[in-house]
Amino acid sequence: MSGKVVLIGAGPGEAGLLTVKALEFLRQADVIVYDRLVDPVLLQERKQDCDLIYVGKEPSHHPIPQAEIEQILVNQAKLNKKLVIRLKSGDPYVFGRGGEEGEALYAAGIPFEVVPGVTSAIGGLAYAGIPVTHRDFASSFHVITGHLKEGSDPLDWTSLARLEGTLIFLMGMTQLPSICTNLIQHGRRPDTAAAVVEWASRSRQRTVTGDLTTICGKVAEEKIGAPGLIVVGDVVKLRDKLNFFERAPLFRKHILLPRARAGRSELAAKITALGGEVTLYPGIRIEKLHDPAQMNAIMASLPEYEEILFTSAEAVSLFIEALLDYGKDNRTLSGIRLTAIGKQTKEKLREYGLAADSLIARRSVEIIRQACAGNWQQGTKVLLAGSAKHTAQLAEELGGDAEFAALPLYREALEAERPFDLNRYDIVCFSSSASVDHLLSVLSREEQALLRSKKLLSIGPMTSRTIREKGLDVYREAEAALPDSLIELLLEEAGEVMPT
Ligand code: SAH
């Protein structure tokens, strides 16, 4: 039996503009076939064993022919893959060749469905403060391709120039001069407002405005390039009032956030909410460990433990999953003290209806020892649930009177990444010593030298020490060793004050 293909629109750029339905599919996908304009952050939502196939073209590389992409979709679905996602930028049916892919799937007898997305033609312009219609300025809008199929008729400029509504050109950046000239020659007022938006809805978004006679010069001056949206019409004038995105405090700040662990990053979410573009690098993937004999032995002996120490939120999910697979549930945990390391771990327990008995702020042997000293007597049995590395390390280093058993549930592995360009970032935010080690372990010697020219922000004294040990300079250190304190530094760098 063949699988199913879902054509999904990823939205114009910002990850949050994905639909709820699309996100659900991404989390279930067995294969994701994706394009260049899709933000790789979205791919982090995939499950652990999901295959990724990149079919976008990098500048200076040949694109993968459309027929080949269609063949990949058909083959992947036939390979008995249950769910193949074709992730495209914007909306899959707006110049995305989604229709052709749907036809190819239909011809091959493969079931498919479509999840529409926010098209850049509307949503991207909204992020530049331009509404595509407005009662006072435009009662229709028209989305036009600037890139026609070879051999097809050229655009009907007489009709286009006569339209009263907003004109939006996609894939038109190389044609911009000819678009402006043609519209004027065919009767559109030369002083009609126009704008070009590059990388709409991303933190690198740039917008230039003018009219049909000036826009080309301004685009050339600012070196605005693809991907770009060209918009012609008086709605552009509303941008002065409606330009919410480019006014966000961290807008146009490109921040590199090296990490040492997988899972959600609170800091990254806060930076994005303030309009910044953040890259988590290197990406880290959770690889579930599966040792049925060990798991069964631990599950059978659970009632003997007095305490379970969870070292991460991922450990909680994998532990509960294993408990259910073993045919038990939360009731088995009654009477066992549950300790969470980190706020997110505590929250994850809560999601499963479990209240942590204690919360330990950080995974430091000293802090854990102090926090647990009162509970750990001679012979107290404590189960350490977490990553292979952390459980082994804690079992060895905690010492004292209690007896520790390590339950390694997963290991953290480096993601195979798309090409990474350190030049893009102005600021590197180190949120732990391990994040420093981690980044340096993947950078080439040249990249390590390049790191010296960046503003390196540190979350606290321990992290700063590690940065200096690597021969690098700390640009600024956060006052309190907390994510919010780092955010405060970022806002100060951007010349903003902390929002209250
Ligand atoms: N299906 C997509 C369009 C694909 S065609 C959609 O609905 O948005 C690719 C063209 O879309 C690009 O050449 C560019 O003109 C435009 N585009 C897509 N995303 C963009 C973005 N974030 N910023 C500016 N233009 C974008």
Establish whether residue 11 lines the binding site of ligand 1, counting it when its CB lies within 6 angstroms of any ligand atom. Answer: no
CA 354 to ligand 1 center in whole angstroms: 45
CA proximity to 5, closest of 65, 64, 62, 87: 87
Establish whether residue 168 lines the binding site of ligand 1, counting it when its CB lies within 6 angstroms of any ligand atom. Answer: no
Establish whether residue 410 lines the binding site of ligand 1, counting it when its CB lies within 6 angstroms of any ligand atom. Answer: no
In the chain, CATH 3.30.950.10 sits at 123-247
Label residue 499 by pLDDT band (50, 70, 90): very low
Give the β-pairing of 193-198 and 228-232: antiparallel
No. of helices (H) and no. of strands (E), the chain = 18, 21
CATH for 123-247 is 3.30.950.10
In the chain, CATH 3.40.50.10090 sits at 254-282+416-493, 286-414
277/355 Cα distance (integer angstroms): 35
Residue of 18, 37, 86, 119 with the most ligand 1 atoms within 8 Å of its CB, for mutation: 37
CA 491 to ligand 1 center in whole angstroms: 30
Per-residue pLDDT tens over the stretch 24-70 = 999 999 999 998 888 877 887 888 788 999 998 765 567 788 999 99
Establish whether residue 95 lines the binding site of ligand 1, counting it when its CB lies within 6 angstroms of any ligand atom. Answer: yes
Tell me the CATH class for 254-282+416-493: alpha beta
Per-residue pLDDT tens over the stretch 146-158 = 876 666 668 899 9
What is the pLDDT averaged over residues 295-310?
A: 94
* Structure confidence at residue 278 (pLDDT): 87
The pLDDT of residue 484 is above 70: yes
Residue of 42, 118, 170, 207 with the most ligand 1 atoms within 8 Å of its CB, for mutation: 170
* Structure confidence at residue 496 (pLDDT): 58
User: Residue of the nearest CA to atom 16 in ligand 1?
Assistant: 170
Per-residue pLDDT tens over the stretch 127-184 = 999 999 999 999 999 999 987 666 666 889 999 999 999 999 999 999 999 999 999 9
CA proximity to 8, closest of 371, 25, 262: 25
User: Residue of the nearest CA to atom 9 in ligand 1?
Assistant: 171
What DSSP character marks residue 122? I
Establish whether residue 171 lines the binding site of ligand 1, counting it when its CB lies within 6 angstroms of any ligand atom. Answer: yes
Ligand 1 atom with minimal separation from the 93 CA:
1
Mean pLDDT of the chain: 90
Label residue 401 by pLDDT band (50, 70, 90): confident
The token pair that represents 255 in the structure block: 């921040």
CA 106 to ligand 1 center in whole angstroms: 26
Establish whether residue 123 lines the binding site of ligand 1, counting it when its CB lies within 6 angstroms of any ligand atom. Answer: no
∠ CA 280-281-285, rounded to 5°: 85
391/282 Cα distance (integer angstroms): 23
Q: Which CATH fold topology does 4-115 show?
A: Cobalt-precorrin-4 Transmethylase; domain 1 (3.40.1010)
Per-residue pLDDT tens over the stretch 269-289 = 899 889 888 888 887 778 888
In the chain, CATH 3.40.1010.10 sits at 4-115
Establish whether residue 12 lines the binding site of ligand 1, counting it when its CB lies within 6 angstroms of any ligand atom. Answer: yes
Label residue 416 by pLDDT band (50, 70, 90): low
Residues 6 or more apart in contact with residue 425 via CB below 8 angstroms? 254, 255, 256, 279, 454
Give the bridge partners for 53, in sequence order: 33
CA 488 to ligand 1 center in whole angstroms: 34
* 78 in active site: no
* Structure confidence at residue 482 (pLDDT): 85
Phi-psi region of 223 (alpha: psi -120 to 50; beta: other; left: phi over 0): left
With H, G, I as helix, E, B as strand and everything else as coil, classify residue 319. Answer: helix
The pLDDT of residue 495 is above 60: yes
Model pTM score: 0.74
CATH for 286-414 is 3.40.50.10090
Label residue 226 by pLDDT band (50, 70, 90): very high
Which of 187-202 are b and which e, b meaning 16 or more Cβ less than 10 Å from the residue's Cβ?
ebeeebbbbbbbbbbb
Q: Which of 57, 82, 288, 343 is catalytic?
A: 57
4/490 Cα distance (integer angstroms): 44
Give the β-pairing of 193-198 and 358-360: unpaired
Give the β-pairing of 254-257 and 277-280: parallel
Residue of 18, 118, 229, 246 with the most ligand 1 atoms within 8 Å of its CB, for mutation: 229
Residues 6 or more apart in contact with residue 148 via CB below 8 angstroms? 154, 155
The pLDDT of residue 434 is above 60: yes
Establish whether residue 464 lines the binding site of ligand 1, counting it when its CB lies within 6 angstroms of any ligand atom. Answer: no
Per-residue pLDDT tens over the stretch 338-348 = 999 998 899 99
CA 121 to ligand 1 center in whole angstroms: 7
CA proximity to 272, closest of 254, 284, 285: 254
User: Residue of the nearest CA to atom 18 in ligand 1?
Assistant: 120
Establish whether residue 257 lines the binding site of ligand 1, counting it when its CB lies within 6 angstroms of any ligand atom. Answer: no
231/200 Cα distance (integer angstroms): 12
User: Residue of the nearest CA to atom 13 in ligand 1?
Assistant: 171
- Residue 143 backbone dihedrals phi, psi, to 5 degrees: -105, 125
Establish whether residue 146 lines the binding site of ligand 1, counting it when its CB lies within 6 angstroms of any ligand atom. Answer: no
Give the bridge partners for 277, in sequence order: 254
CA 220 to ligand 1 center in whole angstroms: 20
* Structure confidence at residue 500 (pLDDT): 45
* 57 in active site: yes
Query: Looking at 1-10, 69-78, 236-245, 258-267, which range is the least confident one?
Result: 258-267
